[in-house]
Amino acid sequence: MAQGFYVTPEVAGRSGLSETVIRPGPVAGGSVVLTSVDTLKTWAAPLPSGVLWLVLGDPGDGELPVEPFMVLPPHAPASTVQRAVLAALETASLRLKLQDLQSEVHLAQERQLELARIGIALVAERDLERLLERILSSARELVCADAGSLYLLEERDGDKLLHFMLAQNDSVPVAFSAWSVPVDESSMAGYVAASGECVSVEDVRYLAKDAPYHFNPSFDEASGYYTRSLLTVPMATRTGEIVGVLQL
Per the CB < 8 A criterion, the answer to whether 1 and 67 are in contact is no
Three-state secondary structure call for residue 90? helix
Sign of CA dihedral 167, 173, 178, 179: negative
Report the pLDDT value the prediction gives residue 80, as an integer from 0 to 100. Answer: 93
Report the pLDDT value the prediction gives residue 117, as an integer from 0 to 100. Answer: 67
d(CA 32, CA 51) in angstroms, rounded, equals 6
Report the pLDDT value the prediction gives residue 103, as an integer from 0 to 100. Answer: 82
Three-state SS letters, 55-74: EECCCCCCCCCCCCCEEECC
**Cα–Cα–Cα angle for 27, 31, 35, rounded to 5 degrees:** 75
Report the pLDDT value the prediction gives residue 79, as an integer from 0 to 100. Answer: 93
Report the pLDDT value the prediction gives residue 81, as an integer from 0 to 100. Answer: 92
Residue 19 CB contacts under 8 Å (≥ 6 apart), including other chains: 5, 6, 7, 12, 13, 34
What is the mean pLDDT for each group of 10 consecutive residues in the chain (248 residues)?
81 90 84 89 80 88 82 91 92 86 78 66 70 83 85 81 84 71 84 88 85 80 82 84 86
Report the pLDDT value the prediction gives residue 141, as an integer from 0 to 100. Answer: 83
Least Cα distance to 135 among 113, 155, 151 occurs for 151
Report the pLDDT value the prediction gives residue 120, as an integer from 0 to 100. Answer: 64
Overall pTM > 0.75: no
H runs (alpha helix) in 52-126 = 78-124
Instruction: Confirm or reject CATH 3.40.640.10 for domain 145-247, answering yes or no.
Output: no
Report the pLDDT value the prediction gives residue 122, as an integer from 0 to 100. Answer: 60
Report the pLDDT value the prediction gives residue 1, as an integer from 0 to 100. Answer: 52
For residue 172, CA distances in Å to 145, 169, 222, 243 come to 14, 6, 11, 28
Report the pLDDT value the prediction gives residue 156, as an integer from 0 to 100. Answer: 76
Report the pLDDT value the prediction gives residue 56, as an integer from 0 to 100. Answer: 92
Three-state secondary structure call for residue 161? strand
In the chain, domain spans:
5-99, 145-247
